[in-house]
Amino acid sequence: MTQAVLTLNAGSSSLKVALFPTTGEAPLATGLADRIGPNGVLTLKRGDGTPLPVLAADLGTHAGAMRAVIASLRTEWPDLALQAIGHRVVHGGHVFAEPMVIDDALLPQLEALSPFAPLHQPHNLAGIRAAQAAFPDVVQVACFDTAFHRHHPWVNDAFALPRALYDEGVRRYGFHGLSYDYVSGKLGHDAPHLAQGRVVVAHLGNGASMCAMQGGRSVASTMGFSALDGLPMGTRCGQLDPGVLLYLMDQRGMSASQISDLLYKQSGLLGLSGLSNDMRTLEAASTPEAAQAIDYFVFRCQREVGAMAAALGGIDALVFCGGIGENSARIRARICERLGWMGIEIDHSRNASHATVVSSDLARTTVMVVPTNEELVIARAARAVVGHTHHSSNSSNSNVSNDNSKETP
């Protein structure tokens, strides 16, 4: 019998999956159901990267995509027996600071958080419901992107708004927590001395943010109340003067839904370049607008590294992860070229080869590239529920609670 845990990351029109054995860190399979709807496409790969055959199926809904994934996996592993299913849930509010076993009491609490993440939370919940329908007897675990940041100092958690709004839940949450959790655990295992110091982690991808860590714990993040704040992203604006929103409403007559579409889907690298939200496309382009979009992204990253270092009172290491952070030597070099005053100096040969340590030997601050693995963090939490623990990392997501009798914000 092939005992395994399944991890799910449900987006608006996608379902990212990974199948892990009950021990070990290498997945048995990974996959993506993309463009869920009439034109849905499912791709699956074995752990070694070779393609897995995919059965023809209806990918019109998340539930259909779930059935297609499981049917295809069972052609490869006919004796597949799922022990637990772990889910990425973007928002856990200020209550949930650790993974939670999903039951009938928890789901309404997660639904109540949907107004805080309207473009993410409903789709995460759709993935949960699809998994529950397919596997009603399998334990399901929610892993929260906000949980890693729940121990911020109050000054890094609040806005200068009336306190009643803070009590209502209008506060800084931070996101990409599963990625930061993995990097924190990886550093704790591979470079424990650095992990105990002042570390800025830059998760740079289509979604982008930075996290300031002290002793492996988050003390500040560039993202705030929503996944819009901070760095510019593929299609999201990043930091924005709230006066711009007032102008758009008062002078342009734009509705909340129109502004939401503008800020989430039309801005960032796409809006600045008029070409693409993909950094690879912009790096290969020759238009002045593409160059300006890259310039703006680099400048904002440099500025936020400084802000995160200020929150820490200094910096011992800068760590890059995410699609851009892990794969673009050019962007890493450009971000670091104005940070010499922080003791940051790149070894260009190491950087070009995507080495783990890309700083020069004489640099005062270590610069690293650590590929993130959010799926493994989720799998570890799911394993912990059924007693299959791991021994290779100090990930904080090994603590799983089934106490769902907590109030939502």
DSSP state of 263: H
The span from the CA of 181 to the CA of 190, in Å, is 14
- Which one is catalytic: 34, 145, 229, 316? 145
The span from the CA of 62 to the CA of 70, in Å, is 12
Query: Smallest Cα–Cα separation from 360: which of 377, 389, 339, 376?
Result: 339
Contact status, residue 7 vs residue 37, Cβ threshold 8 Å: no
Alpha helix locations (H) across 150-191? 163-168, 177-190
The span from the CA of 259 to the CA of 246, in Å, is 10
**196 alpha-carbon distance from chain centroid:** 23
List all residues 6 or more positions away from 58 whose beta carbon is below 8 Å from its beta carbon.
64, 67, 68
- 181 is known as an active-site residue: no
The span from the CA of 140 to the CA of 288, in Å, is 49
Strand 41-46 and strand 15-21: the pairing is: unpaired
The span from the CA of 60 to the CA of 57, in Å, is 9
Contact status, residue 2 vs residue 80, Cβ threshold 8 Å: yes
How many Cβ atoms sit within 10 Å of the Cβ of residue 108?
Answer: 10
Q: Is 368 helix (H, G, I), strand (E, B) or coil?
A: strand
Contact status, residue 142 vs residue 106, Cβ threshold 8 Å: yes
The span from the CA of 227 to the CA of 176, in Å, is 9
Strand partners, 212: 200, 220
Q: Which tokens in the block code for residue 136?
A: 């009603």
Q: Supply φ then ψ for residue 364, to 5 degrees.
A: -75, -30
244's enclosing H/E stretch is helix 242-250
List all residues 6 or more positions away from 88 whose beta carbon is below 8 Å from its beta carbon.
7, 8, 9, 10, 124, 143, 145, 178, 374, 378
Would you please indicate which residues are annotated as catalytic (active-site) residues? 145
